[in-house]
Amino acid sequence: MPLYLRQSRADHSLFHSLRLSKTRRINIDKREKKFYSTNLMITSRDRDDILISTVIRLIKRRATSNLQNVVSKSHAADIAHWFPYLRPNEKSILFGLLIEQGQMGEVMSELNSEDRNLIVHEFDAAILAEVFHTMPADDLGDILADLPEEKSRQLLKLIKGKASEHVEQLLQFEERTAGYIMTPNFLALTEETTAAAATARIRELVDIEMVFYVYVVDRENQLKGVISLRQLVATKPDTPLRDLMTTRVFSVHPNTPQEEVAHVVARYNLLAVPVIDDTVKLIGIVTIDDVIDVIREENTEDMLKMAGTGDVNIASKSIFKNTRARLPWLLASFVGGLVAVYVIGVFEVQLDRLAALAAFIPIVIGMGGNIGTQSSTIVVRGLATGEIDPKGAWKVLWREVATGVALGCVYGILLGAFAKLRFSKVEIDGLEFAWRFPVVVAIAICVNMLIAAAIGALIPMFFKRLQVDPAIATGPFVTTSIDVFGILTYFTVARFLLF
Amino acid sequence: MPLYLRQSRADHSLFHSLRLSKTRRINIDKREKKFYSTNLMITSRDRDDILISTVIRLIKRRATSNLQNVVSKSHAADIAHWFPYLRPNEKSILFGLLIEQGQMGEVMSELNSEDRNLIVHEFDAAILAEVFHTMPADDLGDILADLPEEKSRQLLKLIKGKASEHVEQLLQFEERTAGYIMTPNFLALTEETTAAAATARIRELVDIEMVFYVYVVDRENQLKGVISLRQLVATKPDTPLRDLMTTRVFSVHPNTPQEEVAHVVARYNLLAVPVIDDTVKLIGIVTIDDVIDVIREENTEDMLKMAGTGDVNIASKSIFKNTRARLPWLLASFVGGLVAVYVIGVFEVQLDRLAALAAFIPIVIGMGGNIGTQSSTIVVRGLATGEIDPKGAWKVLWREVATGVALGCVYGILLGAFAKLRFSKVEIDGLEFAWRFPVVVAIAICVNMLIAAAIGALIPMFFKRLQVDPAIATGPFVTTSIDVFGILTYFTVARFLLF
């Protein structure tokens, strides 16, 4: 939603929230002091806790007027933040109140998808249309996209007017693209407009997003240039925009993936990037506040992919959906596990003759798994932040292998020593071995950690080359393949040295 | 560095980069077309590739003048982005060129720490001082903080003047705090100043960061309020700032952790947040472009912590530092592995009598490890994004356990079936068992996945309660404890049902 609007509300809300109630205020001050002196991570989160507990208490007490008071004085982003802490029935009460007070639209923009859907299903279309009317197109489109086809169409009918046109425009584009996250509200003027006229125009505007840039377009609405509000302020009133504007502008296409949009905005430190269609027509802008959300979202997604749970807001999913989302990812390690069963089966003879071998299976594969995860995470993240050159595969591989060897030797020696203490002598078919078994586990760990580091580094590099998101590939695949290799190395070394 | 400056340069650079050379340009256009039509993830990264290969070729060819041409026409952020792709000697050549052309300062601000240090060690203090003079205080402080004490002091002497004062001020504060990442360049005016006067002042300014807010202070430089540039533009010239300003402003303390600063800026959609010391004096502002870097950094850190590699820019570390950083984290899984050895030792008898048991150790602990990682990642990320309420431990635990049971049953049945096929009969002390063994592995997997999901969810919640970053706790700790529990369950079930 419009940045400056949010800001003004923000200041407004803080202004009041500091006046909320004397006791609570003193509390905050005390904690702040503590914070300042000790530099612990509290303050705003802390303030949240205080507010949340109050709100819950007021709802329980049905103290509507006090509740109205707190709500009307709180920032939409804060109110939205209370919901995950509330019970369903408490949520409904708060929803009702927000709708009465006409704050629902603003809060809606800040809510997570779970709570949004809750609202949409609790209130009937007429009321929702009212709420949606007060919402910016990009946030609204986001909500409607989650709804079943006909429900969202029904709502769009009720909204009508420019708003619904805008939303329909956004909904043409795929999710997670510039066209989908852009806002169609921006200030575009012609080249002839003078600085003074532009300034005058800005005065009139109410709900335009990001008035930090003025975009210059021709009659066909094709983007000609951009002027920062600062440039506008800093020039003679009668200068036409033509003479002020920067003629070449960073821009994105409606189909540009949101990750790429974030990349452009972040790298060049823009506050907004214009979205231009194939005919160079300016159809919207993506603002930096939405870019921050994108960065958050993409990071969450990477983490969850690496953990093998394919979904962004899985934390708020039902048990069934949760299970369904995670099931396939576990299949990788299941299949890997079955392979391991066969591999170990091959060495059944050795196991029968020396059961002690089995005791070291977990540590051998465990150490491999962990160093492999380290390597893959470093590479995945390095590729994402650009610290690692996707073409520098050999350089990375070499560093990881070297690290693997170093760590492998350290832990190999430690494990060997332990094995020697634990099994001072192992007996195989009547023959006694004092040293061979420790040597076996030592070598096994060392070789396995080397291989694990290499695999962990190579798999993401490999997927990157295939234009597949490295994060997907990394989690279960790496650990599983490492398990199998680990067992193979372990028993091969054992058979070679012991039998 | 100043946002608007960067922007103007940005536009400038793109303007030229599009003119770089006809052939390359056509290339780009072709790819863009492809991109537009197919919506693959290319464009700007793609443009990078083209530029990088050109630059490398020019350096190899010692084609200095062409190189100068390309460099002078490229955006600092882009130039900085080339370095990870260059060989050390190629880097030095480019450094030299940038210094000649006086672009080094801008590029320096965008470089990663590895390359920054490379420069600092290659060029002598005098030259560096020249470069540093052109850099914004916050970026400069960041560089000097990485240097050995006396080296940075020596450089500060050479820089002199306001710049070095600013840097010294920043360096008083701990890394990763508001005071450390803030810029001391901002526009602060008195309450009496009129809108017109303020506008006039903005005209004069050259290198002030974020001229999107004007801060209002009293004679003691205490923050009284803030005015957005838009508000300023939108009012009558003779209005004093006193009547325009919002009197309550979101602000942070110099000791506020950077993560918390990012949290405030992101939640309330600010473009900059003022930093206020204990005496309410305005000492700096943190701008949104730096906040984006913080968010990136914090996310990287979380991922690496979860993988068990404690360092942010480990990807660019030497093999030795790499090893040293990762060694301690692996200790957790090493110790866990030793415990596993003991646990399995306890069941040596059973293993001797039925070697097949060993074959299923990897899959039992593997499945547990993976579901545990899923749970812990979901919880860690949920806590970070606020989707999970740290107090809602039971709710989360219940959902994870339920999911664990569901997934456990699915894979338990699958594994049981597999075991039945693989070992149609198992023989223990002459007795034959047709069904018991498959049942054992089925139950073992199911119970283990349940426990793993619970542990994976609980450990981060637990650390969060202790005000310890959940991410630290999650990686190796979870997997290891799960390994041990897994083996314990597996063999207990086995002994109970088989022997």
Per the model's pLDDT, the better-predicted residue between A352 and B454 turns out to be B454
Cα–Cα separations (whole angstroms), residue A138 to A71, A302, A336: 25, 24, 44
Segment A290-323, tens digit of pLDDT: 999 899 888 888 888 888 876 666 666 778 888 8
**Cβ-Cβ contacts under 8 Å, B116 against chain A:** none
Determine whether the interchain pair A363/B337 forms a contact, defined as Cβ–Cβ distance below 8 Å. Answer: yes
Is pLDDT of B292 > 70?
Answer: yes
Distance in Å, alpha carbon of A157 to nearest chain B alpha carbon: 31
Is pLDDT of B16 > 70?
Answer: no
pLDDT confidence bin for B206, thresholds 50/70/90: low
Q: Which two tokens stand for residue B442?
A: 């089925």
Segment B71-102, tens digit of pLDDT: 988 888 889 988 888 888 899 899 989 988 88
Determine whether the interchain pair A387/B270 forms a contact, defined as Cβ–Cβ distance below 8 Å. Answer: no
**Cβ-Cβ contacts under 8 Å, B358 against chain A:** 344, 351, 355, 357-358, 361
Is pLDDT of B283 > 60?
Answer: yes
Beta bridge partners of A285: A183, A274
Distance in Å, alpha carbon of A339 to nearest chain B alpha carbon: 9
Torsion, Cα of A126, A131, A137, A138 (10° steps):
-120
At residue A300, the pLDDT reads 85
Distance in Å, alpha carbon of B118 to nearest chain A alpha carbon: 15
Tell me the mean pLDDT in the region A157-164. 79
Distance in Å, alpha carbon of B469 to nearest chain A alpha carbon: 10
Determine whether the interchain pair B307/A378 forms a contact, defined as Cβ–Cβ distance below 8 Å. Answer: yes
Determine whether the interchain pair A295/B300 forms a contact, defined as Cβ–Cβ distance below 8 Å. Answer: no
At residue A394, the pLDDT reads 81
Q: Which two tokens stand for residue B157?
A: 């002497």
Is pLDDT of B483 > 80?
Answer: yes
Determine whether the interchain pair A260/B41 forms a contact, defined as Cβ–Cβ distance below 8 Å. Answer: yes
At residue A313, the pLDDT reads 64
At residue B312, the pLDDT reads 60
Determine whether the interchain pair A292/B266 forms a contact, defined as Cβ–Cβ distance below 8 Å. Answer: yes
At residue B44, the pLDDT reads 58
Distance in Å, alpha carbon of B157 to nearest chain A alpha carbon: 31
Per the model's pLDDT, the better-predicted residue between B297 and B454 turns out to be B454
C-beta of residue A270 within 8 angstroms of C-beta of residue A178: no
A-B CB pairs within 8 A amount to 438
pLDDT confidence bin for A232, thresholds 50/70/90: confident
pLDDT confidence bin for B407, thresholds 50/70/90: very high
At residue B15, the pLDDT reads 30
Tell me the mean pLDDT in the region A393-404. 87
Q: Which residues contact A399 (CB under 8 A, 6 or more apart)?
A: B319, B322
Question: Could you give the angle at the alpha carbon of A223 between the alpha carbons of A220 and A227, nearest 5°?
Answer: 135
Q: How far apart are CA A160 and CA A176, in angstroms?
A: 25
At residue B40, the pLDDT reads 30
Determine whether the interchain pair A407/B363 forms a contact, defined as Cβ–Cβ distance below 8 Å. Answer: no
Average pLDDT, chain B: 82
B334 closest CB neighbour out of A35, A327, A367: A367
A314 closest CB neighbour out of B337, B378, B476: B378
Determine whether the interchain pair B381/A315 forms a contact, defined as Cβ–Cβ distance below 8 Å. Answer: yes
At residue A46, the pLDDT reads 65
**Cβ-Cβ contacts under 8 Å, B365 against chain A:** 362, 365-366
Segment A54-66, tens digit of pLDDT: 999 999 999 989 9
Q: Which residues contact B124 (CB under 8 A, 6 or more apart)?
A: none
**Cβ-Cβ contacts under 8 Å, B388 against chain A:** 84, 315
Determine whether the interchain pair B40/A295 forms a contact, defined as Cβ–Cβ distance below 8 Å. Answer: no
Is pLDDT of A12 > 70?
Answer: no
Q: How far apart are CA A393 and CA A381, in angstroms?
A: 14
Determine whether the interchain pair B309/A377 forms a contact, defined as Cβ–Cβ distance below 8 Å. Answer: yes
pLDDT confidence bin for A354, thresholds 50/70/90: confident
H-helix or E-strand spanning residue B213: strand B213-217
B249 closest CB neighbour out of A11, A327, A358: A11
Is pLDDT of A35 > 50?
Answer: no
Determine whether the interchain pair B366/A479 forms a contact, defined as Cβ–Cβ distance below 8 Å. Answer: yes
pLDDT confidence bin for A208, thresholds 50/70/90: low
At residue A42, the pLDDT reads 37
**Cβ-Cβ contacts under 8 Å, A388 against chain B:** 84, 315
A307 closest CB neighbour out of B366, B373, B411: B373
Average pLDDT, chain A: 82
Q: How far apart are CA A132 and CA A104, in angstroms?
A: 9
Determine whether the interchain pair A329/B278 forms a contact, defined as Cβ–Cβ distance below 8 Å. Answer: no
At residue A34, the pLDDT reads 34
Structural Rg of chain B based on CA atoms: 30
Q: How far apart are CA B111 and CA A189, in angstroms?
A: 37
Segment A358-394, tens digit of pLDDT: 999 999 999 999 999 889 988 888 888 777 877 777 8
Tell me which chain A residue has its CA closest to the CA of residue B204: A234
Determine whether the interchain pair B250/A10 forms a contact, defined as Cβ–Cβ distance below 8 Å. Answer: yes
Handedness of CA B449, B455, B457, B460 (dihedral sign): negative
Tell me the mean pLDDT in the region A93-121. 87
At residue B498, the pLDDT reads 82
Q: Which of A131-145, A181-195, A383-397, B394-408 comes out lowest in average pLDDT? A: A383-397
Q: How far apart are CA A376 and CA A370, in angstroms?
A: 10
Is pLDDT of A348 > 60?
Answer: yes
A337 closest CB neighbour out of B319, B366, B385: B366
Determine whether the interchain pair B14/A249 forms a contact, defined as Cβ–Cβ distance below 8 Å. Answer: yes
Determine whether the interchain pair A357/B358 forms a contact, defined as Cβ–Cβ distance below 8 Å. Answer: yes
At residue B109, the pLDDT reads 87
Distance in Å, alpha carbon of B153 to nearest chain A alpha carbon: 27
At residue B13, the pLDDT reads 33
CA-nearest of A349, A199, A178 to A260 is A178
Tell me the mean pLDDT in the region B448-463. 92
C-beta of residue B194 within 8 angstroms of C-beta of residue B241: yes
- DSSP symbols for A58-115: HHHTT-HHHHHHHHHTS-HHHHHHHGGGS-HHHHHHHHHHHHHTT-HHHHHHHS-HHH
**Cβ-Cβ contacts under 8 Å, B300 against chain A:** 381, 385
DSSP secondary structure letter of residue A238: T
At residue A21, the pLDDT reads 29
Under the phi-then-psi rule, with left for phi > 0, alpha for psi from -120 to 50, and beta for the rest, what region is A43? left
Total-model pTM: 0.80
Is pLDDT of B2 > 50?
Answer: no
B370 closest CB neighbour out of A202, A308, A348: A308
**Cβ-Cβ contacts under 8 Å, A179 against chain B:** none
Q: Which residues contact B386 (CB under 8 A, 6 or more apart)?
A: A81, A84
**Cβ-Cβ contacts under 8 Å, B288 against chain A:** 271, 288, 292
Determine whether the interchain pair B377/A299 forms a contact, defined as Cβ–Cβ distance below 8 Å. Answer: no
pLDDT confidence bin for A145, thresholds 50/70/90: confident
Tell me the mean pLDDT in the region A192-201. 91
ipTM: 0.79
H-helix or E-strand spanning residue B83: none
Segment B337-360, tens digit of pLDDT: 999 999 998 888 888 888 888 999
Candidates B1, B370, B445: best to mutate against A (most CBs of A within 10 A) is B370
Using a pLDDT cut of 70, give the percent of chain B over it.
88
Determine whether the interchain pair B377/A247 forms a contact, defined as Cβ–Cβ distance below 8 Å. Answer: no
**Cβ-Cβ contacts under 8 Å, B12 against chain A:** 246, 248
Determine whether the interchain pair B199/A365 forms a contact, defined as Cβ–Cβ distance below 8 Å. Answer: no
Determine whether the interchain pair B303/A306 forms a contact, defined as Cβ–Cβ distance below 8 Å. Answer: yes
C-beta of residue A367 within 8 angstroms of C-beta of residue A411: yes
